[in-house]
Amino acid sequence: MPETTVLIPSYNGAKYIQSALQSVLSQKYTDYEILIIDDGSTDNTEELVKTLDNKRIRYYKNESNMGIVASLNRGLDLAKGKYIARMDADDLMLGDRLQSQVDFLEKNKNYGMVGCWYHTIDENGWIIHTRKTLTDHDTLRMSLIFRNQFAHSSVTMRTEIARKLRYDPEFQYCEDHDLWIRFSEVCKVTNLSILGLSYRWYSDNSCNRHQRDLKIRVLSLLSRELEKLDIIHSVEELKLHAAICFGLAGPFLSEAIKKEGLDQWICKILNSPVLNKRYGAKWLNDFHKKINDLFF
């Protein structure tokens, strides 16, 4: 049995899937299987995968297009590994990511999932920017209230926990953000300070194609998290929170009235009795001092 399952969902991913697979097969770590869940592709994905003729690759094709959440949950059920490492069919695995993440989880039993730093690249592979993600569990858990802190394709997680939590179809297109929040509630989470992924951002990737649905689901997710913290919020306050989540808070800071509203909203969140019980006033005050660097 392989120690790790590299789970790759794909829908019409023929353009990049061979390079994605080669990036995994180039890892020095070798105790893994690659599990591809083809979500009813109409291109030649299956043909390209089979030309690689590698015994580590297991290929399954959905009878119809079921969506990313159903495909991922099918992958959770079929995975043979103790760990599940996520990858997308248009991304590239870098360095010794698998070995580093598996070693970390082996040595740190109280951690259930681990991501890493990553490049964002365009459709031609040119680096757009590099994201050095947060590493401290408490800061990550707190920051997940505001914004996703993990690149989905950068994460390796314990299969046992992932199967219990599963991806939630209610949050399709932000299913990873929802899952990381729930992971952080039952175990510790972190990002390793290594570059382990090139995440491809281009007009035809899933996030771009489903922007409207994604934003609606994210608003629902953010509202749920605020309710869990006993933070009563208006529609306007939820819009402020969404602006932080989508990286749009900068324009608010350029207008005094909007800046004041944003500051008041952040103070309202940080005054939550639930958060004060969880972290303490001093920790939250220190977090407040860092908030501009984290989100603006």
pLDDT value of residue 42: 96
Q: Look at residues 147, 3, 121, 7 and name the one whose alpha carbon lies nearest to residue 75.
A: 7
Region 81-93 average pLDDT:
98
Region 101-123 average pLDDT:
98
> Which residues are paired to 118 by β-bridges?
131, 197
Share of the chain above pLDDT 90, in %: 86
Looking at residue 248, its amino acid is: L
- Quick: pLDDT tens for 266-289: 999 999 999 999 999 999 999 999
Residue 64 exposed, middle or buried by CB count within 10 Å (0-12, 13-18, 19+): exposed
Strand, helix or coil for residue 57: strand
- Quick: pLDDT tens for 67-80: 999 999 999 999 99
What secondary structure does DSSP assign to 118-135, as a single string?
A: EEEE-TTS-EEEEE----
Residue 40 exposed, middle or buried by CB count within 10 Å (0-12, 13-18, 19+): middle
Q: Name the strand (E) or helix (H) holding 98.
A: helix 97-107
pTM of the model as a whole: 0.95
Q: Look at residues 204, 152, 200, 212 and name the one whose alpha carbon lies nearest to residue 178.
A: 152
- Distance set, CA 243 to CA 52, 53, 91, 181, 290 (Å): 44, 46, 27, 19, 18
Query: Other C-beta atoms within 10 Å of 94: how many?
Result: 19
